[in-house]
Structure 1
Amino acid sequence: MRPLRLLVAEGNPPAMRERHAATSGQTPSVFYADVLGGLAEGLGLETRIDLCFPADEGANLPAGEDLAGYDGVAITGSGLNLWKAERESLAQVEFARAVFDSGLPFFGSCWGLQVAAVAAGGEVKLNPQGREIGVARSIRLTDAGRGHELHRGRLEVFDAPAIHSDEVATLPSEGATVTATNELCAVQAAEIRYGNGVFWGVQFHPEYTFTELGGILTRYTPIMMQEGFFRDTEEAAKYVADLVALDADPDRKDLAWRLGVAPSVLDPIVRRTELVNWLNLQVKPAASARGRA
């Protein structure tokens, strides 16, 4: 069996991803690729993963490559906002349409879900209920989601790492199925069928570790103080330190209790259920059907 070839599209332009790496140690696309590679290895799958940067001026696929050479495409999160209609955002919408046209298995976290929804005719807006950050609570599978392979193995109600201020406000008029929701965000997960392709996506971040989340919250601390999540920098630093410590020792019952982190969120495989299912139930069968696995 030849290695599965995956393409991870970075959702951020250069300045944003460099700022992210300064606090988290890696750009989102490098981190995402590492997570996918580890999950694939756990499934007994060998992978080759490339990165691309559709937000960059003049950026294309890796030299000598085209979408037809890949077995699946994933889009990371981003600090951009689609409702601002900036060039960096619109370029990614066009990239998503090209992925849909290719018919490749397609996945996205947070920004990735939003980009795919807009590419298929939906709309993204600033969430009037405010930012969902840290851990998204009480995400509930819809009737369609309970039987959907995207969430195979999930509890009917679960929590997940998250950070977003925008939401999919209007779904594409055809081919969109909401598979998970919660009180703060109506579209927590969805399948979108458009053109030749099928997209699975989530508004939360199944890929995140608590250390990665802590790095992001460190960067967002001034905004979170303005929005009332933290009273001061000391409180923020303590919260982040607890997240990182829990990542290092998931058996710390005191930290899990204080942070309100459920056992299912502590288990990295359970936390990444949707990514595992995409690799195992979308990418692998599609590659096999094309005689490339």
Structure 2
Amino acid sequence: MLHLLVADGNDRAGRETHLSVCDKTSAETYAGILHALAPDAVCHLVAPADADAALPRALSDCDALVLTGSTLHVEDGGPAVTRQCDLVRAALEAGVPVFGSCWGVQVAATIAGGRAARNPRGPEYGLARAITRTQAGADHPLLAGRPPAWDAPAIHDDAVVEPPPGSTVLAGNDRLDVQAIEIRLGDGVFWGTQYHPELDLDEVAAMLRLSAEGVVQAGLCPDEAALHAYADALRDLHGDPEGRADLAWRLGVAAEVLAPERRRREIANFLDRLVRPRRRP
């Protein structure tokens, strides 16, 4: 049996907002996916941004830590950020494998000596397009099974703008050099993606609605009505991915995004290629 600690990157306000549009928290989304990919897994949820958070299981008794996305900004600092940095640092120094998407990558890069900040090339809203491996990522197990180029759900303003010393950047695209990365700290290994392999298209749609003002300000939609129409199309495509080929064509959404087993490939690779081989007796 695997014991996986799932840390929600949001503070209380962020969790409540996410819950209001997605009917589940980011940690609950991840826990459901982890259990689907590893039926023998038990997920222990924690919200480390909170001052009163207590680990439901000791790190030494966990096979892995997974850190979700967040509405927080690493550069802002503060206790809610520091507590999460401390948790990831403690896990890695204890040799616990860590996976993170979006916020998780930014936290891991920061504690290892890199820098996360607003992406100078602009945000990615909806999908990160044409992600490709670096030379170092060509045969890396995190990306096993990915085609030469792929798209993935993505919603972020911030990103890793300076990778930490000694890290291995595995993939990027024209918007961002660090779309996937490996970071080693202490006895631990971090694998992560700036994009969101955990998100279904209906969740992407819901999060876009929350970011409507930012999407319009970035020039990606002419107005909020256009953004909501785009979100409606994503939601409808999620509800009928096989029957709405018209929407997939119009939105430019291919199988790497539509098929859950392909969209979640990095999470499955983390479990199968990193966690299970290092599983504690």
Aligned to 1:220: 211
State the Cα distance separating 1:279 from its structure 2 match. 0.8
1:47 partner letter = A
Displacement of 1:226 = 2.6
Aligned counterparts, 1:88-237, within 5 A: 88-174=80-166, 176-237=167-228
Q: Which residue of 1 aligns with 2:46?
A: 52
Structure 1's consecutive aligned runs of 4 or more residues displaced over 4 angstroms after TM superposition are none
Contact 2:3–2:62, Cα closer than 8 Å, also in 1: yes
Q: Shift in Å at residue 208 of structure 1?
A: 0.5
Amino acid at match of 1:60: A
Q: CA deviation at 1:40?
A: 1.3
Are the equivalent residues in 2 in contact too, given 1:126–1:165 (CA < 8 A)?
A: yes
Deviation per residue, 1:212-264 (Å, 9 max, x gap): 11110111112222322222332122111110111111121110111111222
Question: How far, CA to CA, are the matches of 1:173 and 1:224 in structure 2?
Answer: 33
Residue in 2 aligned with 1:28?
26
Note the C-alpha offset of 1:72.
0.8
Aligned pair 1:240/2:238, yes or no? no
Could you give the per-residue CA deviations for residues 82-140 of structure 1, whole angstroms, max 9, x where no partner exists?
11112211221111100111101110001001101111111111111111110000101
Deviations 1:181-237 (A, max 9, x none): 111111000000111100100000000000111110111112222322222332122
Q: What secondary structure does 1:57 align onto?
A: coil
Q: Unaligned stretches of 5+ in structure 1?
A: none
1:35-93: CA deviations, max 9, x gaps? Answer: 1111113xxxx11101111110132201xx31011111100000111111122112211
TM-score (norm: length of structure 2):
0.97
Using the alignment, how far apart are the partners of 1:132 and 1:33 within structure 2? 25
Does the residue aligned with 1:116 lie in a helix, a strand or coil?
helix
Q: Distance in 1 between matches of 2:165 and 2:63?
A: 27
Contact 1:55–1:91 under 8 Å retained in 2: yes
* RMSD (CA atoms): 1.1
Q: C-alpha deviations, 1:150-176, integer Å up to 9, x for none?
A: 0111112111000111111112222x0
Residues in 2 aligned to 1:170 and 1:230: alpha-carbon distance in whole angstroms:
29
TM-score between the two structures when normalised by the length of structure 1: 0.93
Matches of 2:60 and 2:103 in 1, distance apart?
24
Query: Counterparts in 2 of 1:1-16, with a 5 A limit?
Result: 3-16=1-14
> How many percent identity over aligned positions?
44
Equivalent pair of 2:64/2:275 in contact (CA under 8 Å)? yes
Task: Give the partner amino acid of 1:79.
Answer: T
Per mean C-alpha deviation after superposition, the further-off stretch among 52-61 and 7-16 is 52-61
SS of alignment partner, residue 145 of structure 1: coil
Aligned amino acid, residue 199 of structure 1 = F
Structure 2 match to 1:38: 36
Question: In the aligned structure 2, how far is the partner of 1:136 from the partner of 1:113?
Answer: 15
More displaced stretch, 224-233 vs 65-74 = 224-233
Are 2:255 and 2:262, in contact at CA under 8 Å, matched by a contact in 1?
no
Counterparts of 1:52-91 in structure 2, within 5 Å, are 52-62=46-56, 65-91=57-83
